[in-house]
Structure 1
């Protein structure tokens, strides 16, 4: 997986989590006693052989930086090649504002993507609860020859208000994509996982910036459907988003079930 650069989007504010997110980034909120939400994405990366990881954040970043530090708990404390770095927005010749959206966050760090020797860029959300071997998604990306592969799961009731929904043909190719359409659509829901060919991502970000667009899904992912080869990797394991206190409480309670859907002490992906 040396040919893959990983960017974890962790900049959102924890608006729905009340006092839990008052003094910390959402991705730094404790989960399951001794873990933080960011630990799932980071552990998945390490267990999948990914060693060059950047975390893009801005809301109350000290808590996240303090938790990640140099990446030693994940064997990512590397000073020459690889490792994990937390990236904050900054003012410079061309960057003068906070991240205005997911595409803008990537665009403000485009120099890192461009200088990377990696051929592919894996983009993840840092606040989801799941275990995945990203090597399987990457294999799917390679064998299909896609420009973009989207990590998905089967659509559930209520997803139309929370996630992007995809219409997928029998070969797993995306033929339609609607972001939070408000009504049932297609077969799959996006997990916020995207594997791009690096050159195609750079092109898409430049095109988005020229239109004044700031959102990765609306400005880069959705325009690719019908124009480029976009495929899916459908995940059938446990995956959960925790947008509010009720969902967060429910996800924690599942850990004490006789057969919990996710084992936190299992080192594997």
Structure 2
């Protein structure tokens, strides 16, 4: 899984930690989009987040294919479910106007989906992969849902073209 791929190169992160690298950006290699990551990372820093998850508004037809989240009015993630189905999917519907969507766009896109793009505090990333969740192999289905309970995990809206 995605977390295990990062874990296999933990030595790079441990070396980065000694070089005062405070934040680590983790990307998926199979997405198509264009963005300035500096805004994403700066928002992570400005909100004093432990983890920031890039998210996109999502419609009913594709929502069950993604990790979905519920957030508060500050963008803090309160709940995270990986690829929910049935009533679990319905329970993840939110008012996406909180992200700045118009009423019409919010009706069309009642879900907030993870893009699988994250910024972690580097020290926390090391802790999660080596101590807290050493047997977990996936960020979306295991580490992020667990971290939401104990850490400040923020959502960051990307509202442009994106394909997974």
**Superposition TM-score tier, normalisation by shorter sequence:** 0.7 to 0.9
User: Does 2:94 correspond to 1:191?
Assistant: no
Partner Cα distance (2:117, 2:136) in 1: 20
1:205 and 2:129 equivalent?
yes
Choose which of 3, 8, 18 in structure 2 pairs with 1:108: 8
Instruction: Give the drift of 1:224.
Output: 1.0
In terms of fraction of residues, the more helix-rich structure is: 2
Shift of residue 148 of structure 1?
0.4
Deviations 1:46-83 (A, max 9, x none): xxxxxxxxxxxxxxxxxxxxxxxxxxxxxxxxxxxxxx
Provide the C-alpha distance between the structure 1 equivalents of 2:13 and 2:155, rounded to a whole number of angstroms.
23
Instruction: Give 1:225's aligned residue.
Output: 148
Contact between 2:72 and 2:78, CA under 8 Å: does it hold in 1? yes
- Identify the structure with bigger relative contact order (alpha carbons < 8 Å, sequence gap 6+): 2
- Unaligned ranges ≥5, structure 1: 1-100, 242-269
2:80 aligned partner: 177
Aligned to 2:46: 143
Please give the alpha-carbon distance, in whole angstroms, between the structure 2 residues aligned to 1:214 and 1:192: 14
User: Structure 2: which 5+ runs fail to align?
Assistant: 94-110
> Which SS does the other structure have where 1:240 is aligned?
coil
User: Please, what TM-score do these two structures have when normalized by structure 2?
Assistant: 0.80
Secondary structure of the residue aligned to 1:191 is strand
Work out which of the residue numbers 12, 22, 30 in structure 2 matches 1:127: 30
Between the aligned partners of 1:229 and 1:106, the Cα distance in structure 2 is: 21
* Shift, 1:226, TM fit: 2.5
Cα-Cα RMSD: 1.3
Tell me how many residue pairs correspond in the alignment. Answer: 139
Q: How does 1:5-44 map to 2 (within 5 A)?
A: none
**Structure 1 stretches (4+) deviating beyond 6 angstroms?**
none
Secondary structure of 1:152's match?
A: strand
**Contact 1:147 1:228 (C-alpha < 8 Å) held by counterparts:** yes
Secondary structure, in 3 states, of the residue corresponding to 1:145?
A: coil
How high is the TM-score relative to the length of structure 1? 0.50
Aligned counterparts of 1:178 and 1:232: Cα–Cα separation in 2: 14
| Deviation of 1:208 (Å) | 1.8
Cα distance in 2 between the residues matched to 1:102 and 1:214:
6
Give 1 or 2 for the bigger CA radius of gyration: 1
Aligned match of 1:89: none
